[in-house]
Amino acid sequence: MILTMLFFVFIVGLSIGGLLAANRHYPPLFVYVFFVLYFLVSAYIGMIIGMLFPSFLIGFFITEFLVCTATFLFLIAVTLKYHPSLGFFYWQEKIVFILLGSIFFLMGFQWGIFEFRSFFTFFSCLLFGLALFIGLFIQIQMKQKFWRYPLAVFLPCIWLFLITLIKLF
C-alpha cells in the first residue's frame, strides 16, 4: 500500500513536470518551488484533516476512488484548457490549479486516514520534487525528438491516465 501511494506520487510528479515543458519557454525555478510547496501544503492539510477521521469509517477504496476521480477531472480540465503558447498551467486558468490542489489534498487525506504522519508527507514531497525535474527532462527530450507532432505535448496526460486507471482497479 505504501509503495503504490509513493509510486502514484512519483507518476503525478512526472506528469506535471512533463506538462510544464509544454510552454514555449521553459519555466523558471520559481514555478518548481511553487508546485512543490503547493503539493506540500495541500497534502499536509489533507493529512491533518484525515487524521481526524477513523480509518474504519472511510475505507481505502473510497479514498482511492476520490483520488482517481479528482485525477480524471484534472486530466479533462488540462486537456480542454491547453493553450499552445501558454501551455497547460497559466495563471488566468484557476480551475486547473484547484483540481490539482484537490488531488494533493485527497492524497494527504488518504495518508492521514492510514496514519502516515509528517515524515511520510515530507518524503513524498521530496519524491514529488524529484519526479517533477525528471518529468520535465523526459518531456523536453520527447519534445525535441517529436517536434513535428503537436500532440506530443499530451504524452504526460496519457501516462497519468494509464496509471490512474491501474490505480482504480
Question: Domain-by-domain residue ranges, the chain?
Answer: 8-19+31-168
Query: Which residue has better confidence, 153 or 106?
Result: 106
Cα 131 to chain centroid distance, Å, stands at: 10
Q: Give me the chain's average pLDDT, please.
A: 89
pTM: 0.91
**Least confident residue range of 53-67, 102-116, 120-134, 146-160:** 53-67
Q: How confident is the model at residue 135 (pLDDT cuts 50, 70, 90)?
A: very high
Q: How confident is the model at residue 63 (pLDDT cuts 50, 70, 90)?
A: confident
pLDDT of residue 23: 78
Distance from C-alpha of 67 to C-alpha of 110, rounded to nearest angstrom: 9
Residue 62: band (very low, low, confident or very high) from pLDDT cuts 50, 70, 90: confident
Q: Which three cell numbers stand for residue 105?
A: 489534498
Q: How far apart are CA 88 and CA 150, in angstroms?
A: 14
User: Average pLDDT in the 37-57 region?
Assistant: 89
